[in-house]
Amino acid sequence: MTLASVLLSLSPSFVGSVAAHTDTLLAGAAENLFTPAMEQSDDWQPTVYEDLYARSLVLSDGRNYLAIITADHFMQGFDESEMMRRVVNRATGIPPNDIFINFSHTHNSMLPGERWRKEAQVSTAELDIPYDEWLGREGRELDPFVQWWFCHLAEATKRAKDNLRPAELGVGRAPVQIGYNRRSIRDGVCVMAENPNGAVVPWTDVLGVYSKDTGRCDAKNRIAVMFTHAAHPVIVHFGGWPNPDYSKPAIGPDFPGYAVKHLRNLLTADDQQSGVLMFAQACGANINGFPLRGGIGACEVAGLSLAFATRNAIDNRAVITPGVLRNRQSTLSLPYKLPPVEQVKKWLSEDPESGNLKHLLEVSESGVRKYLELPMTAYAIGNDLVILMLPGEMFCEYQLHADAVSSFPHTIVLGYINGSVSYVATAKDYELPDLTGGHGVSPNSAYLPLEPETEGMIKDGIAKLLNDLKADCG
């Protein structure tokens, strides 16, 4: 038995009966603004250039659920996301394993801290929801801002579920590229710069949800639109433009927020009801929105391009035949590299302040190999559509692979699902020598680098997951 076969753990979780059938799909959507007002001080002058939102789409076949939450937020760890899903479960009754949080990964979102607590407590009082009941014992011990943030997502998801109604789905894809592969080899070292020849995902996948309450499934009865793209939201970036000063942080959603704004304007101009518009981040770990740190104007342009493509996909959508919700889950145990102790000491001598190298030295000296547990879930909606959920910062090659091997007529891939602890690159990236691998891959810039063989394990795992789910659908 090979190492890959030992470490590849496929544990299917099948939802629904193969024999079951439904002619009706139920859907609901809602959104919550979660930008707290901020007090400025002499040493801290934040600027909100666009509001942050949490948006929820809930689908059901009458017995099983799929809840997708999109959030204008940087990222969380797996443990925090697991707690958040329990909060949403208490608010909605939807099983935690059927709740998926997609982070847009905007580099201008808020993080918990003393500066947010006062406003978070005020904002909490404005929502008439049972915080204590939803948070549970462990949640009541969290920072007030985190409590407020968790419950905003839960409240939006509850309203979406409470408003479930008969619906029809439409799926479309349109070409668009608003970023570039950001890994360029210069003088033998991988640097963060535009690589015109590097891999990208040059499209948006769009899922339109339409109410059947009136018997008409058209733009006048749109419940929601979820549209995807694979690119880091870093066109404004951290301190913001034109003042990249960390004492003057920019708060906002970057290009995803502008895409939503422009899409709403386009649909309104066409006399269409927009519904809840949701940007979902795909596998953009090695793609930067262009131009990096380009500012608000560049964000407007990128957002408008994505909005036009999304509208084109909406106009050319294919109707999805309703059916049972089914899923398959798989967890891969991916081995981290365990380089020789002397090699790590040499690297650390060249970069003595690297916290990642210090951690790698501890792991190397222990002699105990560590693994990244990578959970993956695929949901089939009837026989025509599959949505693949991948955690964390996956390189775009994995999305391209899933699209190529899927036997479903329509495949949507989401990244940044339910948190992250590291980048997940490809073999050619991990095989770069010494400290030349670049951001998120090199031992001095990654939590721990993975073994090159993990690319094959992931691609095989994705193919098996999708093939098994397709077999379930009959």
Q: In b/e form, how buried is each residue of 127-144, taking b as 16+ CB within 10 angstroms?
A: eeeebeebbeeebeebeb
What's the residue count for the chain?
474
Other Cβ atoms less than 10 A from the Cβ of 363: the count is: 18
84 has pLDDT over 80: yes
Residues 289-304, mean pLDDT to the nearest whole number:
94
SS3 content of the chain, % helix, strand, coil (to 5): 35, 30, 40
Enter the DSSP assignment of 447: S
pLDDT at 148: 81
The set of residues, in sequence order, having a beta carbon less than 8 Å from that of 418 and lying 6+ positions away, is 78, 81, 82, 85, 100, 101, 375, 389, 391
Query: Residue 151: exposed, middle, or buried by beta-carbon count in 10 A (0-12, 13-18, 19+)?
Result: buried
310 confidence band (pLDDT: 50, 70, 90): very high
Phi, psi of 26, deg, nearest 5: -105, 145
290 confidence band (pLDDT: 50, 70, 90): very high
Could you tell me the two tokens for 458?
A: 């992931």
The predicted-structure confidence for 355-378, as pLDDT tens digits, reads as follows 999 999 999 999 999 999 999 999
Enter the DSSP assignment of 331: E
Other Cβ atoms less than 10 A from the Cβ of 11: the count is: 9
